[in-house]
Chain A
Amino acid sequence: MKLLELHGQALAELEQAADLEGLEAWRVRYLGRKGPISQSLRSLSSLPVEERRLQGEMANRVKGSLQDAWQSRREGLRLAQVSKPPSGVDISLPGRPVPMGRLHPVTQTFRDICAAFQSLGFEVVEGPEVEWDYYNFEALNIPPGHAARDMFSTFWVDYTDDRGGHPMLLRTHTSPMQVRVMEKTQPPVRVIVPGQVFRYEATDATHEAVFHQVEGLAVDESITLADLKGTLYEVARLLFGEERKARFRCTYFPFVEPGVDMAIDCAVCGGEGCRVCSGTGWLEILGAGMVHPDVLSRVGYDTRRYTGFAFGMGVERIAMLRHGIDDIRLFFQNDLRFLRQFR
């Protein structure tokens, strides 16, 4: 058969190929190794030089044309095949679930707080939850009979020492770790202490007998109240966002001097005053201050050389503010409908 005839016939048959299988059969027939064009090319060597050149040129052009036609036909058929909607597609059917649990909101908040401070060079340490009176109170300038003990209603452990005293308690704050850390290390100190704390208190929507705190302590030469302010404002920005304003005011904790209470402006009312912030426009989020000289000298630090700051914040309170949770008791209920809401 003449190549040109063959070309015409092949193109006509190509039109008939209705699907990819038909197309493949066509390709094998015309463009395959045993097809007429391959045969024609193989037989060239037997021809005279001049004819060989003409015949070869022709065969190659026919081959190229058929290949192009095949290519375009194939694309057309594939498109037609994929475009044809198969039955049974419903993309709204639910996807197969990936079983992932959630971390407790307290853990998530702990991690956010710790990450913020770690970025500022603080190291995370932990301490005992059952404590001696000494670490929880006395070493922090709260001797027996001190009125400041009223600030920390205490669970006492039913334990009597040799002298008939009852010195064991559930720590009322993470602050005992200030003393424990300083007893063990020399400045510079830069630690944060996440942990569980206890207060002898009846529970209601805003009070829990058990809750969590993060304590912080930095001691070195030339640490100032301005450093404390800078550090805490930065952390407030990381935790609550750029747009929140922070406020430092004077307050009293026996183990710091000067003492600080930090608040952020109420996101609910924008500082105008509402029920959430009891009309003040501010929400207290932590207590802080410069480590009291008596606390420093009690652990043997030279108060003329070293100064330090300390702070403590309630984790549940921060989580409540960040997520709009209105009842602290939810944190200990472990209701999956609550836990599942936290990423």
Chain B
Amino acid sequence: MKISFRWLKDYVHITLPTQEIAEKLTMAGLEVEVAEALGDQWEGVRVARVTGVAPHPNADRLRLATVELAGESQTVVCGAPNLSIGQRVAFAQVGARLVDGHTGQTVTLKQAKIRGVASAGMVCSERELGLGESHEGILELPPDAPVGAPLADYMGDTLLEIEITPNRPDCLSVLGVAREVAAITGEPISPPALDYPEEGPPIGDLASVEIADPGLCPRYCATIIQGIKLGPSPRWLQERLISYGMRPINNIVDVTNYVMVEMGQPLHAFDFRTLSDSKIIVRSARPGEDITSLDGQKRSLNPDMLVIADAHRAVAVAGVMGGLDTEVTEGTTDILLEAANFAYASLRNTAATLKMRTEASMRFERGLSPELVPPNIKRATQLIQQVAGGRVARGVIDVYPGRTDAGPIVLELSEIPRLLGMEIDRAEVLRVLKALGFECREDSPERLLVNPPYWRSDVRLPADVVEEVARIVGYDLLPTTVLSGRLPHRQPDIKLRLKERVRDILSASGLHEAITYPLVSADWLEATRSPLGLRLANPVSREQEYLRTSLRPGLLAALATNQKFGAEAVRLFEVGRAYLPREGDLPLERETAVAVLWGGDGDVLWTVRQAGADFYEAKGLAATLLDRLGTGGADFVPSQEPFLHPSWQAAVTAGGRTVGVIGQVHPDAADVLEVDGPAVFVEIDLDAVVAQSGRPISYRHLPRFPAAIRDLALIVAEEVSARQITNILRSSPLVTEVTLFDLYRGRPIPTGHKSLAFRLRFQSPQRTLTDTEVDRAQQQLVERLGKELGAVLRSA
């Protein structure tokens, strides 16, 4: 909300600089930015009167104007078409700083001769003063502008941009902000006048109000003014509306808007003669009912919406917008003025459904106090009478079914240190509350009975009152203390620790951590063979319509992004959640770790030659991860995961349970995600790993006797797997370690065969093995391999 500092000063005396006021308000809960200072740059600009206009001797388009400023006369050259004798204008003397009408730059006005005539200054346009865009002619000031006065004094202003939190609808008004300023600075408040003569008939004789749905309309007040003279508002009123950002319409509508901005309560004026049977009925809309609102749009209503109706039809959407039929127009002479209170939730719904967030609805939605209604309707009635004349009917119709009397708030003074950790002097508490408009009775030395002012709907509990005191005293004064007292019983979250371990292990293994969007498209889920899962009711786009059921698409997309940026090798992982729907419940949020490996083969550095990412890198990574998580290692068994290449894939098991899958990404998925070239993927279900992880570590004695190392190259048929061979090699009780160190195909190995070379470590915990023992054990293994797998020892 933007409000005028000048307007603010109508209600409270301000001596502090604007910036300081803004800071103090900010600290107390109203975030204020000094948005625009109007007139700061008007040094050397004063109000002047045009006393003569003569043609320029050398130019048809220019004229010579004589202007008078408090006794002295100056002659200036002026090109404006709207210059005339008697006008009050803004006159800039040489040396003044102005915005150049053509370039928009700020310049210092210099002594100049224009077409041979010396000009003592300049008569300014709106744009030159930074007041607006108009540069067609000069700015005409009102005829009562004081000649000779500095323009800044006459119309300088500062606009404050204020962020009002939803709990403070009372501060959506200049008076509300003024009250805050008064409380902070200790100055008194001068509220606006509410008195007016009531010269008309008793209002009860003219109209009636009925609230059919008191749950949605706790209070409705009306006044009637007859014989008004519709016309434009006086300039001061118009200027204020403009300063707030509203367009002046006519004196009646302008007053309702003015009072809303001034005191916070939205109001509406009906052309009284258009209300059939002179009746106001506050009721729910009828099925199929519609209304043409003030903006000329036809709106369909439904029974969830509250309307203001006359005897026959809806004449306004309650608290949102008036109807066109009953609008105040040129012929209007009598008006019925409405000020009412509406239930915020229903009104908010209505405004949202009709897509009409208006200045009025925005205030109602925040829960205005029903006590705001009478002073506001009186103020508006008073102002209408002042600017449009007319006779005010006697009395105010006030239907108030929603009256509640909560009684005072009981504030134990001990509550202040209990919540704040700081004592505040009793006298200071009373002073602050009084400055904020609260009424306090001293019930006992330890206790206050506190009645919040009528405009505050947000203060209900002792804690609310404590905050009021604290924010005005200032949070700056709060001491800083440390938590004392008992430490809670702590139970470490195993899953949380597991996730952090996974991050540490994977990053230490050379992978970078990614965090990808949990919202993905249906296409991406389908392409990665992940189920569709939960859909958003209001997605931002089709690309982010579903909650992911796997982390596959996100990480593949991250790979594709890096490929596009020219990366040659990508190793990424993510630890995150997949959201798996459950009937009638929140989804299962499965903790998942995924990794994607791509590229990086060849000479990566002068001293490093590396194999590119492949199935075996993924396998090594998964094995390392599970081993380090304490699952007792991982096993890999054949699998059929459609997301992966049918041949290059395996399920990962730990402790006999499947915990994940590894393999090359299926080319179809790679295509959709725009991944270039074969990438390998690791997917581990951490929820499944949790149960298997963290097995206790039990120490094994270090070997005391030396080992014998033997290399063994075997030729086997392609169908024989490495595992079949290692299983046999490990069967010897003397073999403690088997390492496959070479795999070779090609000459002189016959086709359909391969050569596998193993390094075997023979070792006994009891003694040093003799060569004969080792030879014998090796011989037995070779024989068994030959018999069971057809393996032949490869001669050197």
Instruction: State whether A99 touches B510 (Cβ < 8 A).
Output: yes
* Chain A residue at minimum C-beta to C-beta distance from B22: A280
Residues of chain A with a CB closer than 8 A to B349's CB: 145
Give A234 to B483 CA distance when docked, in angstroms. 11
Question: What are 29 residue pairs bridging A and B, where the CB atoms are less than 8 Å apart in the complex?
Answer: A96-B605, A104-B515, A107-B513, A107-B515, A121-B488, A125-B493, A129-B577, A130-B586, A147-B366, A156-B536, A156-B538, A158-B535, A158-B536, A159-B534, A170-B536, A170-B547, A222-B484, A225-B475, A226-B481, A227-B482, A227-B483, A233-B480, A249-B26, A251-B29, A252-B168, A258-B419, A307-B419, A332-B517, A336-B570
- B-contact bits for A215-241, CB 8 A (1 contact / 0 none): 000101111111101110110000000
Given contacts A227-B482, A292-B463, contact A104 B487 (CB under 8 A): no
Given contacts A129-B577, A190-B487, A226-B422, contact A250 B29 (CB under 8 A): yes
Query: Which positions 515-545 of chain B face chain A at CB distance < 8 Å?
Result: 515-519, 534-540, 544
* Chain A residue at minimum C-beta to C-beta distance from B348: A145
Segment with Cβ contacts to A, from B106-114, B376-384, B396-404, B464-472: B464-472
Known: A104-B513, A123-B491, A130-B579. 8 other contacts (CB 8 A): A101-B506, A107-B513, A120-B483, A129-B579, A145-B348, A170-B547, A188-B485, A290-B419
B420 part of interface (Cβ distance < 8 Å): yes
* Chain A residue at minimum C-beta to C-beta distance from B422: A226
Residues of chain A with a CB closer than 8 A to B735's CB: none
A42 part of interface (Cβ distance < 8 Å): no
- B-contact bits for A313-339, CB 8 A (1 contact / 0 none): 000000000000000000111111101
Instruction: State whether A252 touches B345 (Cβ < 8 A).
Output: no
Instruction: State whether B535 touches A250 (Cβ < 8 A).
Output: no
Residues of chain B with a CB closer than 8 A to A147's CB: 166, 344, 348, 365-367
Instruction: State whether B420 touches A334 (Cβ < 8 A).
Output: no
B486 part of interface (Cβ distance < 8 Å): yes
Residues of chain A with a CB closer than 8 A to B31's CB: 251
B73 part of interface (Cβ distance < 8 Å): no
A299 part of interface (Cβ distance < 8 Å): no
Of the candidates B366, B481, B488, the one whose C-beta lies within 8 Å of that of A224 is B481
Residues of chain B with a CB closer than 8 A to A234's CB: 480, 482
* Chain A residue at minimum C-beta to C-beta distance from B31: A251
B167 part of interface (Cβ distance < 8 Å): yes
- A-contact bits for B549-578, CB 8 A (1 contact / 0 none): 000000000100110010100111100010
A312 part of interface (Cβ distance < 8 Å): no
Given contacts A250-B471, A334-B558, contact A225 B419 (CB under 8 A): yes
Instruction: State whether A157 touches B510 (Cβ < 8 A).
Output: no
* Chain A residue at minimum C-beta to C-beta distance from B458: A252
Instruction: State whether A336 touches B567 (Cβ < 8 A).
Output: yes
B507 part of interface (Cβ distance < 8 Å): yes
Instruction: State whether A293 touches B421 (Cβ < 8 A).
Output: no
B587 part of interface (Cβ distance < 8 Å): yes
Instruction: State whether B475 touches A121 (Cβ < 8 A).
Output: no
Interface range, A side: 35 or more
Instruction: State whether B166 touches A121 (Cβ < 8 A).
Output: no
Instruction: State whether B573 touches A250 (Cβ < 8 A).
Output: no
Query: Which positions 107-155 of chain A face chain B at CB distance < 8 Å?
Result: 107, 111, 120-121, 123-126, 128-132, 143-148, 150-151, 155
Residues of chain A at the chain B interface (Cβ within 8 Å): 93-94, 96-97, 99-104, 106-107, 111, 120-121, 123-126, 128-132, 143-148, 150-151, 155-159, 161, 166, 168, 170, 185, 188-191, 196, 200, 202, 209-210, 218, 220-227, 229-231, 233-234, 248-252, 254, 257-260, 278-280, 290, 292-294, 307, 331-337, 339-340
Residues of chain A with a CB closer than 8 A to B572's CB: 334, 336
| Cβ distance B37 to chain A, nearest Cβ, rounded Å | 13
| Cβ distance A205 to chain B, nearest Cβ, rounded Å | 17
| Cβ distance A254 to chain B, nearest Cβ, rounded Å | 8
Residues of chain B with a CB closer than 8 A to A259's CB: 29, 467
Given contacts A145-B344, A226-B422, contact A132 B586 (CB under 8 A): yes
Of the candidates B471, B496, B573, B606, the one whose C-beta lies within 8 Å of that of A258 is B471
B290 part of interface (Cβ distance < 8 Å): no
Instruction: State whether A224 touches B421 (Cβ < 8 A).
Output: yes
Residues of chain B with a CB closer than 8 A to A100's CB: 507-508, 510
Residues of chain A with a CB closer than 8 A to B486's CB: 188, 220
Give A70 to B606 CA distance when docked, in angstroms. 44
| Cβ distance B489 to chain A, nearest Cβ, rounded Å | 9
Instruction: State whether B483 touches A121 (Cβ < 8 A).
Output: yes
Of the candidates B165, B482, B500, B537, the one whose C-beta lies within 8 Å of that of A158 is B537
Instruction: State whether B166 touches A126 (Cβ < 8 A).
Output: no
* Chain B residue at minimum C-beta to C-beta distance from A93: B606
Give A280 to B509 CA distance when docked, in angstroms. 45
Interface range, B side: 35 or more
Instruction: State whether A337 touches B565 (Cβ < 8 A).
Output: yes
* Chain B residue at minimum C-beta to C-beta distance from A332: B517
Residues of chain A with a CB closer than 8 A to B419's CB: 224-225, 258, 290, 307
Residues of chain B with a CB closer than 8 A to A258's CB: 419-420, 463, 466-467, 470-471
Instruction: State whether A190 touches B367 (Cβ < 8 A).
Output: no
Given contacts A130-B589, A230-B482, A293-B463, contact A196 B518 (CB under 8 A): yes
Residues of chain A with a CB closer than 8 A to B485's CB: 188, 220-223
Instruction: State whether A248 touches B561 (Cβ < 8 A).
Output: no
Residues of chain A with a CB closer than 8 A to B481's CB: 224, 226-227, 229-230
Residues of chain A with a CB closer than 8 A to B534's CB: 130, 157-159, 168
Residues of chain A with a CB closer than 8 A to B496's CB: 124-126
* Chain A residue at minimum C-beta to C-beta distance from B464: A257
Give A224 to B503 CA distance when docked, in angstroms. 37
Of the candidates A130, A156, A191, the one whose C-beta lies within 8 Å of that of B537 is A156
Give A124 to B369 CA distance when docked, in angstroms. 42
Q: Would you list the 9 A-B pairs with minimal beta carbon distance, nearest first?
A: A145-B345, A226-B421, A224-B421, A99-B510, A258-B467, A252-B165, A250-B471, A250-B29, A230-B480
B418, B464, B510 — most chain A CB neighbours (10 Å): B418
Residues of chain A with a CB closer than 8 A to B558's CB: 334
Residues of chain B with a CB closer than 8 A to A166's CB: 537
* Chain B residue at minimum C-beta to C-beta distance from A153: B538
Give A292 to B586 CA distance when docked, in angstroms. 27
Given contacts A102-B512, A130-B587, A230-B482, contact A335 B165 (CB under 8 A): no
Of the candidates A111, A188, A210, A229, the one whose C-beta lies within 8 Å of that of B519 is A210
B479 part of interface (Cβ distance < 8 Å): yes
B637 part of interface (Cβ distance < 8 Å): no
Of the candidates A101, A124, A226, the one whose C-beta lies within 8 Å of that of B513 is A101
* Chain B residue at minimum C-beta to C-beta distance from A280: B33
B118 part of interface (Cβ distance < 8 Å): no
| Cβ distance A103 to chain B, nearest Cβ, rounded Å | 5
Instruction: State whether A103 touches B165 (Cβ < 8 A).
Output: no
Residues of chain B with a CB closer than 8 A to A252's CB: 29, 165-168
B21 part of interface (Cβ distance < 8 Å): no
Give A124 to B496 CA distance when docked, in angstroms. 8
Residues of chain A with a CB closer than 8 A to B464's CB: 257
* Chain A residue at minimum C-beta to C-beta distance from B412: A304
* Chain B residue at minimum C-beta to C-beta distance from A132: B586
* Chain B residue at minimum C-beta to C-beta distance from A104: B513
| Cβ distance B536 to chain A, nearest Cβ, rounded Å | 5
B476 part of interface (Cβ distance < 8 Å): yes
Given contacts A130-B586, A158-B537, A258-B470, contact A224 B514 (CB under 8 A): no
Given contacts A101-B509, A106-B515, A227-B481, contact A260 B475 (CB under 8 A): yes
Instruction: State whether B561 touches A335 (Cβ < 8 A).
Output: yes
Instruction: State whether B461 touches A257 (Cβ < 8 A).
Output: yes
Instruction: State whether B509 touches A200 (Cβ < 8 A).
Output: no
Given contacts A290-B463, A332-B517, contact A209 B483 (CB under 8 A): no
| Cβ distance B85 to chain A, nearest Cβ, rounded Å | 45
Given contacts A101-B573, A125-B493, contact A148 B470 (CB under 8 A): no
B607 part of interface (Cβ distance < 8 Å): yes
* Chain A residue at minimum C-beta to C-beta distance from B486: A188
Give A101 to B570 CA distance when docked, in angstroms. 11
Instruction: State whether B540 touches A151 (Cβ < 8 A).
Output: no
Instruction: State whether B516 touches A332 (Cβ < 8 A).
Output: yes
Given contacts A224-B418, A226-B478, contact A210 B561 (CB under 8 A): no
